């Protein structure tokens, strides 16, 4: 389905297939090198479970959720459960990517993109499964966000000094 959307809307991509990957570390070992920014995508919720966020940062960055919570003015920011991930973005852990916004037709997920990542010319993302990676130019991602009615909030995402 995601390929139909990309093709129908003229969003060009390069696709590489690979064994399943569940972490950025696995992806770095298994996915062939492509000329785009490697992304880490976190599906987050506030303490009451009323607001949901898809946060995309460079794969090397560890996120300080407490500081991000303050930046966004929300309390109790944490990783959302796999059940919430399936409900809101229609994917499983390991397959979270910017392209999962195609499944958020009711626009209940807020898109956050780290400014350092947004400076890249192209992005690497999973096409809703963790057995392929797509390289999509920034202009193509912008067009995809328009199609899904998601406006990225570009933020200076606070980094944690602790590696995850």
- What is the C-alpha separation between 88 and 82, in angstroms, rounded? 10
Give all domains of the chain, ordered by start, each with its CATH number: 2-155 (3.90.960.10)
pLDDT at 32: 87
Q: How far is CA 54 from CA 8, 19, 84, 142, in A?
A: 25, 24, 12, 15
Q: Which pTM was predicted? A: 0.93
pLDDT at 164: 45
- Arithmetic mean of pLDDT over the chain: 94
- What is the C-alpha separation between 140 and 113, in angstroms, rounded? 15
DSSP string, 6-49: HHHTT---EEEE-S---SHHHHHHHSPP-SSEEEEEEEEE-TTS
Which residue's structure tokens are 């995850």? 164
Q: How many alpha carbons lie under 13 Å from residue 160 in its C-beta half-sphere?
A: 12
Kindly state the average pLDDT of the residues 34-58: 96
């Amino acid at each position: 389905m995601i390929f139909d959307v990309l093709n129908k809307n003229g969003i060009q991509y390069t696709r590489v297939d690979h064994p399943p990957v569940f972490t950025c570390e696995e992806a770095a070992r298994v996915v062939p090198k492509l000329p785009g920014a490697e992304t880490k995508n976190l599906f987050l919720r506030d303490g009451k479970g009323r607001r949901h966020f898809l946060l995309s940062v460079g794969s090397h960055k560890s996120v300080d959720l407490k500081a991000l919570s303050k930046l966004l003015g929300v309390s109790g920011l944490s990783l959302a459960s796999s059940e919430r991930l399936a409900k809101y973005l229609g994917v499983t852990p390991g397959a979270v990517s910017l392209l999962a916004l195609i499944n958020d037709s009711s626009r209940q997920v807020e898109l956050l993109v780290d400014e350092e990542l947004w400076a890249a010319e192209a992005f690497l993302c999973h096409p809703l499964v963790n057995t392929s990676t797509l390289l999509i130019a920034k202009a193509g991602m912008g067009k995809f966000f328009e199609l899904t009615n998601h406006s990225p909030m570009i933020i200076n995402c606070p980094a944690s000094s602790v590696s995850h």
